[in-house]
Amino acid sequence: MRFDTYDPGDFYDELFIEKGKPRPQANPLIDRINSLSDGELLQRQQAAQSAMFKLGITFTVYGDSEGNERIFPFDIIPRIVAANEWATLNRGLKQRIEALNLFIADIYGDQKIIKDGIIPIELVHSAKGFLKPCIGLKPPKGIWCHITGTDLVREKDGQWYVLEDNMRCPSGVSYVLENRRVMKSTFPQVFRTMDIQPVDEYPSHLLETLLNLAPDNLPNPNVVVITPGIYNSAYFEHSFLAQQMGVELVEGKDLVVADGYLQMRTTKGLKRVDVVYRRIDDDFIDPLAFRSDSLLGVPGLMDVYRSGRLGIANALGTGVADDKAIYAYVPEMIRYYLGEDQIIPNVPTFLCGNPQHLDHVLANLDKLVVKAANESGGYGMLIGTQATAEQREDFADRIRANPRNYIAQPTLCLSRVPTLIESHIEGCHVDLRPYILYGKDIYVNPGGLTRVALKRGSLVVNSSQGGGSKDTWVVTE
Amino acid sequence: MLSRVANSIYWLNRYVERAENIARFIDVNLNLILDSPTGMTQQWEPLVKITGDAPLFQERYGEVLPENVIQFLAFDRDYPNSILSCLQIARENARSVREVISSEMWEQVNAFYMMVKEAAPKQNLASLHDFFTQVKLASHLFSGIMDATMTHNEGWHFGQIGRLLERADKTSRILDVKYYILLPSVHDVGTTLDEIQWMSLLRSASAYEMYRKREHRINPTLVAEFLILDREFPRSIRFCFLNAERSLHEITGTPVGTWRDPAERALGRLRSQLEYMTIADIFETGLHEFINTLQEQLNGVGQSIFNAYFALEPMVEAVEEIKPISSLQTQTQTQTQTAIGS
């Protein structure tokens, strides 16, 4: 299998400038793959996938009666980002996270940005992730969002855009680390010849970020990761991160509030918990403060948090910035709080809550992608160009019924990366989710999760919608 | 260590051990059949009886045919104590504590489950013996891996306790098989057929050679004594109690011979009871009756371990508004109830 016949076509290709002409940073990899004998690439791909299955690097499929897990399909042709290009993304992501944190602190505090008329108050108050009980909260060190996964895409002309920010419990970083481990054993020679930035520092940075939240003067703060349990689709990741950091993985039922502290039940009695990396949504974390029917959380946790005896990452209430209508205002936030221009632009976005925008959206449904403001995982969206008239009509009704909850964006032509499909190489659309940690400083893990749409021509990369993943190499030429 | 984690490691080991022992049960029968005189009724019913789940079998399969019994005990997904179900539960337990156990342990449980799952649709009588051998080996491999790769800390000791209590229970059931296997007539007591049955029984507990070295001749009283009271044979009931108790005291720090909580007391009592018992005492009670009582006491030990270390009730005053629902407890109770026999 070789790249000789591979044609990037009329798309932005991450590895090729044009047919037969790899991008300079991709050259050694392409040479290496071209030198493999027929079938060897495929064989390595299968070996990599079966290694992942054996290691149990899986996600749980909801609704499967046997409680089976699947591996997140993995493609061994990596996506390569040139180091100089990455440097710009790196700066852009830091800028964005800093502004978003200032924004969250502001709206649960003085609300200056609202008072100054930059963002309408109704928009903030109607965001599903806006939590009234968080007003007036002062999280440790003033940081709200410690862990972010920001989705980036690249358009046909090579321009990068921020597609969305995941500020609640972004998942996928475990695949970044495990994909890299598998890739190192798949292409060891390539790793020796190319200068690929390592990703393995993530768990150490994550632990530092969490320790930074511990109430002051504790010699040995007790950090835990809280998971909804083994049936959660991202359970593998929760367990992996706890293991990599060497901290306990707990479920709500392991925890209890006693004597004013959060404590965990051990075989020798209760033990105090100082920092929680939570992988449970806000709504479920404390049935006394939020959803009373939640069995996943810990009653009374919010009081401990408010009293300053507990650090939580991400802080409760950060989901407000996950809202896709709020996302549209990030460029203004950056200008307002930092006095800078946005380094990585947003995708142009129409807010259906705005009457003029709404008319435009309804008139152009066949050209736009419409998304529900609060959904994730590729649910609740309409890809106008691929939808039937009936589907569009149905969606138009939904938008009219609740315009605030919808945004629309032009259909982007996502960049592509050569990918093994069956037994040949084909260009498939990708996005990129880098992971950003905000502790003492802001750290961006070099690379991130490249998600790839494995269905021919598909633009949907979510794992719950049949997407796969690739390793992402940040490479110095 | 988190109570939930300790609980999961305990059950992970119990279920792996249980799967192994079910393979032993069936295998003993496969062997017996080959040695039985033609025309003798195949002895499959006792196998279902000793599980304590005969009514369930009756309801689901009706007739006691070898293939039904094997399907039920080895591969039935809806029967919680089939080999396949045991491994599925073992694997779920392992998955819930992956960050605590060694990755080799997880990989072995995962591979073990996959092996049984793939064998399930392909089984035929000719290949069954190989299959059961593989199950036994996979279980040994798991405990060997655990021994060699996991720190012998609290979690490891909880695993030991789970494995040893399960093994003691199953050795007692293997012995009980003989109670149910009827000889064609009283005159057959002490005949070749009788002897063959006792030998099979020893084999299914991997005890044949070790017994021979000690006693040379096959004698029912001595076989029972070996499997119940031997101090050195690792599948004898007394051996299991001794070592389970040792692990429990490693966890609590209380010296062996004393007790501070009901779990230590229950296990210590059961162990010392065997220390001072003779096989004559057991036969006086009746072997089958002795085994019944022992199994009840064992369930009691399991329950007191659960209460002392896994069930830590939440501080009620802090959460009065919310009735605590501990799915931990329901899970464990189900597992206890579905334990073979009850």
Q: Which residue of B has its CA nearest to A224?
A: B2
How much is the CA Rg of chain A, to the nearest whole Å? 23
pLDDT value of residue B52:
80
Q: Do B111 and A256 touch (CB under 8 A)?
A: no
DSSP B266: H
Question: What value does the mean pLDDT take over residues A378-394?
Answer: 85
pLDDT value of residue B317:
35
DSSP B74: I
Tell me the nearest-neighbour CA distance from B45 into chain A, angstroms.
30
pLDDT value of residue B121:
82
Residues 72-131 of B with CB under 8 A from A: 88, 92, 95-96, 98-99, 103, 106-107, 110-111
Identity (one letter) of the amino acid at B331? Q
Tell me the nearest-neighbour CA distance from A93 into chain B, angstroms.
31
Q: Which residue of A has its CA nearest to B305?
A: A267
Q: Do A254 and B2 touch (CB under 8 A)?
A: yes
Q: How confident is the model at residue A416 (pLDDT cuts 50, 70, 90)?
A: very high
Q: Do B319 and A257 touch (CB under 8 A)?
A: yes
Q: Which residue of A has its CA nearest to B88?
A: A66
Query: Using CB atoms within 10 A of its CB, is residue A457 exposed (0-12), middle (13-18) or buried (19+)?
Result: exposed
Where is A235: in which H helix or E strand? helix A235-245
Name the percent of chain A lying above pLDDT 70: 95
Q: Chain A residues with CB inside 8 Å of B322's CB? A: 287-288, 299
Q: Do A253 and B4 touch (CB under 8 A)?
A: yes
Q: What is the DSSP string of A328-369?
A: TTHHHHIIIII----SSPBPP-EETTSHHHHHHHHHTTTTEE
Q: Chain A residues with CB inside 8 Å of B151's CB? A: none
Average pLDDT, chain A: 90
Tell me the nearest-neighbour CA distance from A225 into chain B, angstroms.
11
CB A430, CB A75: distance < 8 Å: no
**Four-residue CA torsion sign, A67, A73, A74, A79:** negative
Cα–chain center distance at B106: 21
Return the closest-CA partner of residue A445 out of A436, A454, A432, A457. Answer: A436
Return the closest-CA partner of residue A256 out of B326, B81, B168. Answer: B326
Instruction: List phi, psi (to 5°) of B236.
Output: -75, 150
Characterize the bridge pairing of strands A275-278 and A311-313.
parallel
Please count the residue pairs, one from chain A and one from chain B, whose beta carbons lie less than 8 angstroms apart: 81
Which of A265, A271, A288, A301 is best to mutate for the B interface (most B CBs within 10 A)?
A265
Q: How confident is the model at residue A63 (pLDDT cuts 50, 70, 90)?
A: low
Q: Which residue of A has its CA nearest to B310?
A: A267
Q: Which residue of A has its CA nearest to B98?
A: A239
Which of A267, A270, A291 is best to mutate for the B interface (most B CBs within 10 A)?
A267
Q: Which residue of B has its CA nearest to A59?
A: B95
Q: Do B111 and A54 touch (CB under 8 A)?
A: yes
- Is some CB atom of chain A closer than 8 A to the CB atom of B260? no
Give the Cβ contact number of residue A272 at 10 Å.
Answer: 15
Query: Mean pLDDT in runs of 10 for chain B (342 residues)?
Result: 95 97 86 65 76 88 88 93 95 92 93 92 80 95 97 96 96 84 68 83 90 90 94 96 97 92 95 94 92 94 93 47 35 35 30
Within 8 A by CB and 6+ apart from B134, the residues are B115, B119
- Rounded Cα gap, residues B174 and B47, in angstroms: 9
- Rounded Cα gap, residues A150 and A445, in angstroms: 12
Q: Which residue of A has its CA nearest to B95?
A: A230
- Is some CB atom of chain A closer than 8 A to the CB atom of B151? no
Q: Do A230 and B110 touch (CB under 8 A)?
A: no
Tell me the nearest-neighbour CA distance from B242 into chain A, angstroms.
22
Name the percent of chain A lying above pLDDT 90: 66
pLDDT value of residue B10:
97
Q: What is the DSSP string of A184-197?
A: HHH-HHHHHHSEEP
Question: What value does the mean pLDDT take over residues A112-129?
Answer: 93
Q: What is the DSSP string of A390-438?
A: HHHHHHHHHHHH-GGGEEEEEPP---EEEEEETTEEEEEEEEEE-EEEE
- Is some CB atom of chain A closer than 8 A to the CB atom of B326? yes
pLDDT tens digits along A25-59: 999 999 999 998 878 888 999 888 888 877 777 77
Which residue of B4, B106, B322 is in closest CB contact with A254? B4
**Four-residue CA torsion sign, A327, A331, A334, A335:** negative
pTM for the whole structure: 0.84
What residues pair up with A248 in beta bridges, in sequence order? A224
- Rounded Cα gap, residues B303 and B96, in angstroms: 22
- Min mean pLDDT across A152-161, A323-332, B51-60, B81-90 is at B51-60
**Four-residue CA torsion sign, B255, B259, B260, B261:** positive
Tell me the nearest-neighbour CA distance from B33 into chain A, angstroms.
35
Q: Which residue of B has its CA nearest to A247?
A: B99
pLDDT value of residue A318:
94
Characterize the bridge pairing of strands A74-82 and A467-476.
parallel
pLDDT value of residue B336:
37
Tell me the nearest-neighbour CA distance from A176 into chain B, angstroms.
18
Q: What is the ipTM of this complex?
A: 0.75
Tell me the nearest-neighbour CA distance from A277 into chain B, angstroms.
15
Q: Is the peptide bond before B81 cis (omega within 30 degrees of 0)?
A: no
Identity (one letter) of the amino acid at B300? G
Give the tokens for residue B174.
């293997």
Which residue of B107, B154, B158 is in closest CB contact with A54? B107
Q: Which residue of A has its CA nearest to B321?
A: A288
State how far the alpha carbon of A381 is from the alpha carbons of A392, A405, A455, B237, in Å.
11, 11, 18, 62
Which residue of B6, B98, B111 is in closest CB contact with A243? B98
Within 8 A by CB and 6+ apart from B184, the residues are B40, B193
Residues in chain B, how many?
342
pLDDT at A184 over 80: yes
pLDDT at A370 over 70: yes
Question: What value does the mean pLDDT take over residues A163-177?
Answer: 91
Q: Chain A residues with CB inside 8 Å of B326's CB? A: 253
Q: Do A230 and B95 touch (CB under 8 A)?
A: yes
